[in-house]
Amino acid sequence: MVDLFARLAKPRLMELLRLKGVRHVFDPAMGRASGKFLEEGCEISLDKLRKTTQPYRDIERFVSDGRVMNFIIDPGLVPIVKSILLDVRGRQVLVTRKVGPDGAAIEGAVAHLDGFGMRIVLRFDPDKGESEVTWECLYGVG
């Protein structure tokens, strides 16, 4: 299911970002916040790790074609895209890096967006009886 979210999210992400005059560089090396990236002699700090989380009771009802975009993908992407767009204003380069583990074991299904530094984690909490979708994006601007 999380792979479906990643496949559907990539075109929507690019549609929402509409990077004009800003070059996007993807670093496939896994990392966490406070990493560095060297781009054309300029060191860019990958210090922004944005994260959104939504709980869903009975997530299967939102997975149909018409509902997954409105109820799962957009609520995860829109806050992160807004943050990126605010940070990239007046800049020339957006660098994203594949989000790596934070030291704690990840419990749940994980998917990464192809060619962009974003990770989606789907967990089920049996105590609450709900699923939780977490979107994480690691980036820096220069």
Length of the chain: 142
Q: Where are the chain's structural domains?
A: 2-141
* pLDDT tens sequence for the chain (142 residues): 999 999 999 999 999 999 989 999 999 999 888 888 887 788 999 999 999 999 999 999 998 768 999 999 999 999 999 999 999 999 999 999 999 887 666 789 999 999 999 999 999 999 999 999 999 999 999 9
DSSP 62: G
Dist. CA 34–CA 64, nearest whole Å: 38
Architecture of domain 2-141: 2-Layer Sandwich (3.30)
Amino acid at 31: G
pTM of the model: 0.92
